[in-house]
Amino acid sequence: MTLVQYGDYFYLYVLVLALIPAVILGVLEKNIKYYGVFISILMIIAVMGMGKIFPLFLIGEIVLIKGYSVLRKKTDNKYLYYIVLFLSMSPVIIFKVSAITIERSIGFIGLSYLNFKAIQMIIEIYDEAIKEVSIIKTLYFFLFFPTLISGPIDRSRRFEDDLERKISRNEYINEYLYHGIKRIIRGIVYKFILANLINALWMSKISEHITFSSSLNYMYAYSLYLFFDFAGYTAFAVGTSYILGIRMPENFNKPFLSKDMKEFWTRWHISLSKWFGDYIYSRFVLNSMRKKRFKNRFVASHIGQLLTMLIMGAWHDLKWFYIIYGLYQGAALVGTDIYQRKSKFYKAHKKEKWFQYIEIVATFHIACFGLLLFSGYLFGS
């Protein structure tokens, strides 16, 4: 029998037992990372079973990362970089395509998030932000079980800095353990209580027959359900990470209080939006301006926003409603930018409280409609 990560109370029971030695080590001011590697391996086996695909992926990516780090010291050849980058992305590309061609018969849960880690390291090796690659640290970076399935998406350099940080007893108890337990309790409230209640008492009772009324009802229900379910998962992941001595970045920060869609994407699935912003959007815009592809930086930014969100939509899956979702989010970002730059009304009132409340309500509905598209409800999926 395999466990469902953060999926039920039995998993939580197993998790609590697994974390007790980590707490003892932290209180005794001992390094937790070796126990972290050990328990990560056990938890991965418990969640994934004894399959062969995950070990093959892990070995392949680490060999590729370590090998390229050696080659990068000898050459900055762009074609070699592109080949290595494509090879690092190939598992997730094959996985996504297999959903269409052979009913997703390959892959494993968490593949996409692990692939983000590999791609990030290859890019930063090329940029020379990463100069040395430790196989042991990289292995733990990939194996770290709290964020295995759905993030948050961490960065290797930040993760390794935490590994080397010496934590005093008081700091561990008052910061790591306190914040870890606090977030796990939040996860229980969000995922097991609020998300389950919304699903059982509201969302599951909405008719599958699509009307304006049912669509509006489903939009609100699904948006709140997805937030509490995913933010609950994230709270578990961040809390567990803290107890293991790793200060995992937050993934949600009151997204439904955002005043515009640009702010929304700094509050919703923060690690994903930052990853796409750093490694796709920013690079595309800077490269476009350097090569003068567009007449000004605003056009470059708008094309970059559309492209980035389109790729984000396709990353979720190669189903057409995810593509529509990505284009919608890109258009919402472009529209927000044009409106804020050109609207005299916005510039005159943007600092006034009444206007900000209207912005929050409007942004909430724009975001929720995007999540309705994401749900597939309108398309019978």
Would you name the residues annotated as active-site residues? 316
Q: SS3 of 247, please?
A: coil
Place of tokens 């609207």: 343
Q: Radius of gyration over alpha carbons of the chain, in Å?
A: 22
- For residue 185 the two structure tokens come to 């309790």
Contact (CB, 8 A) for 381 and 278: no
Q: How far apart are CA 29 and CA 34, in angstroms?
A: 13
The answer to whether 35 touches 25, Cβ cutoff 8 Å, is yes
Q: Return d(Cα 300, Cα 308) in angstroms, integer.
A: 12
CA distances from residue 69 to 78, 90, 129 in whole angstroms, order as listed: 14, 19, 11
Q: Say if residues 245 and 162 touch (Cβ distance below 8 Å).
A: yes
| Helix, strand or coil, per DSSP, at residue 342 | helix
Residue 91's identity, in one-letter code, is P
* Interior/surface letters 311-345, b for 16+ CB within 10 angstroms, e for the rest: ebbebbbebebbbbbbebbbbbbbebbeeeeeeee
Buried/exposed 104-142: b ≥16 CB within 10 Å, e otherwise: eeebbbbbbbbbbbbbbbbbbbbeeebeebeeeebbbbb
3-state secondary structure 120-182: HHHHHHHCCCCCCCCHHHHHHHHHCHHHCCCCCCCCHHHHHHHHHCCCCHHHHHHHHHHHHHH
